Amino acid sequence: MGQTVILGVIGSDAHVVGITIIEQALTAAGFDVENLGVQTSKAEFVSAAEDHDAGAVLVSSLYGHARQDCQGLHEQLADAECDPVTFIGGNLAVGQNDWSETERYFRELGFDRVFDAETDPSAIVSALERDLDMTATETERVRVNS
């Protein structure tokens, strides 16, 4: 596939098990994965996306602070002239919340897909396969047109 997937847990969160398993699944599926690990700042996501010309940025958060942590991430990506597919997954709000509302919130922040904590790694692999292929095609189309 040739496009690097950036993976990390955002903010002050140290929940590592989920991204460890997702890294395994993505690597086994043939993706080039750059795992930034836990406690990754927005700036670190952006510079990794820039350095690797990333096809996708996958943000994980399990501790509830994702709203505060993700403010401005997409603007910073745009400022760095990066346009990766962005996913977020995990427990994305503190406490017992309405998932459809949480999902809408993160879609409005700019995430292409929003996953809950029960998501099977296979769902992420297949979504990524779809989205990255689509992105590649669009890029080619742009090149052809210009």
Partner 1 sequence: MLRDERLSGEQLRETAAELREQWPTGADAGFEDAIEFHESLPETKCFADVLESADAPLLQPRAGVPRLDDQIELLQYLEQEGGADLLPTTIDSYTRDNEYEKAQQGLDNARDSGEDTLNGFPAVNHGVEACRDMIRAVDAPVEVRHGTPDARLLAILTLAGGFQSFEGGPISYNIPYTKEHDLAETIEHWQFVDRLCGAYTERGVRINREPFGPLTGTLVPPSIAIAVMVVEGLLAATQGVRSLTLGYGQVGNVVQDVAALRALRELGEDYLPNDVVVTTVFHEWMGGFPPDEARANGVIGLGGATAALGKPDKVITKSPQEFQGVPTREANASGLRTTRQLIDMMIEQDIVIDGIDEEQEIIERTARSLIETVFSHGDGDVAQGTVAAFESGALDVPFAPSDSANAAVLPARDDDGRVRILEWGDLAVPDEIVEVHEARLDERARTEGRSRSFRMVADDVDAISDGKLIGRPGTGDPDPGAGAADGLAGGETDAD
Binding site for partner 1 (CB under 8 A): 11-14, 16-17, 20-21, 24-29, 37-39, 62-65, 67-68, 91, 93-97, 117-118, 120-126
What is the tally of helices (H) and strands (E) in the chain? 6, 5
Smallest gap, in angstroms, from Cβ of residue 74 to partner 1? 19
Report which of 99, 91, 34, 36 is spatially closest to residue 61, judged by C-alpha positions.
91
Which of 13, 69, 74, 131 is the catalytic position?
Answer: 13
Residues 6+ apart with CB under 8 A from 11: 39, 40, 41, 61, 63, 65, 66, 68, 69
- C-alpha triplet 26, 32, 33: angle, nearest 5°: 65
Catalytic (active site) residue 13: yes
Catalytic (active site) residue 65: no
Nearer to partner 1, 53 or 116 (CB): 116
Smallest gap, in angstroms, from Cβ of residue 53 to partner 1? 24
Which of 15, 32, 52, 83 is the catalytic position?
Answer: 15
Nearer to partner 1, 60 or 86 (CB): 60
Q: Report the distance separating Cα 24 and Cα 5, nearest Å.
A: 13
Describe the crossing of helices 17-28 and 121-145 by its angle, rounded to 10 degrees: 60
Smallest gap, in angstroms, from Cβ of residue 135 to partner 1? 19
Smallest gap, in angstroms, from Cβ of residue 54 to partner 1? 20
Q: Which residue numbers are catalytic?
A: 13, 15
